[in-house]
Amino acid sequence: MSTHAYSIINPSILIGELPLEEQLRLVRNRGFRGVELWWPFETATPSDSAVDAVLTTIADSRLRLVGMNLYEGGMALGNRGITCWPGVDAEFDASIEVGLRFHEATGVQNFNVLHGTLNDHETRDVQNDRAAVRTARAADAFSTVGGIVTIEQLSHIPGYGLRTMAEVTEAVARARDRTTTGTILVQVDLFHMFNMGDDVAGYFRDHWREIGHVQVADFPGRGAPGTGVQPIDELLALLRDQGYAREIALEYSHYENNDPFAHVTVAC
């Protein structure tokens, strides 16, 4: 079992089949103090009452909302972001506005922008440039309330535009070139770095200042830390030793014996 203690978890990937109220109740009862969430609506334009209902659920949970994804195009449909898609500026901008409402109500400051899968009708450069413009627009909007935007790799989604850390680094640079006031950083997901065979220790030593958020799952299996073979405790200690002081959250999906929180040490 991992000995690193965590205070933040992502229930969306772990127990997302349950109603949000139940997800947060289970997390709170297990001792966690904060959560990050995937986009909690089926569309980019939820009604005011739908937004209010989610915000009330979060407030009632007494959990801190650490971060959230912007609209991803429908997770149930297999989509993982719309940022590079043509013809969806209205949806993208609508999700920014919802994010600002979440900030106002909860104080959340980390907003993860998912790149999306590439189409076969345009060049990669055209789609990447479109994503950069939108990512910069989101970063500038959230900068008005002290928020940041993050970009992450998704190694297991065929056709996803950012499958490697090198591609993420390039995407961050493109978007930064188009910002005026925004902050754009990398969201590190250890599972995806392990899956791609990335040099995690080297990345932490050389690029820790570029990291805005860290998500943790073991490999193989995408289970809790300690269920795979990766030296997660040592890697996180290295990252902290470099000076990293931002959030570290659990984002694993597989568990056994009907206990989603087995093998996890929760920070007191």
SS3 state at 249 = strand
Q: Give the catalytic positions in this structure.
A: 152, 251
Segment (H or E) for 69: strand 64-69
Q: Of 46, 57, 63, give the one whose Cα is nearest residue 21.
A: 57
Residue pair 4/225 in contact (Cβ under 8 Å)? The answer is: yes
Helix (H, G, I), strand (E, B), or coil: what is residue 102? helix
As to burial, measured by CB atoms within 10 angstroms (0-12 exposed, 13-18 middle, 19+ buried), residue 87 is exposed
Amino acid (1-letter code) at residue 24:
L
Largest CA distance in the chain: 52
The owner of tokens 């993050």 is 150
Is the separation of the CB atoms in 47 and 94 below 8 Å?
A: no
Residue type at position 2: S
In degrees rounded to 5, what are phi and psi of residue 38?
A: -70, 170
SS3 readout for 196-240:
CCCCHHHHHHHHHHHEEEEEECCCCCCECCCCCCCCHHHHHHHHH
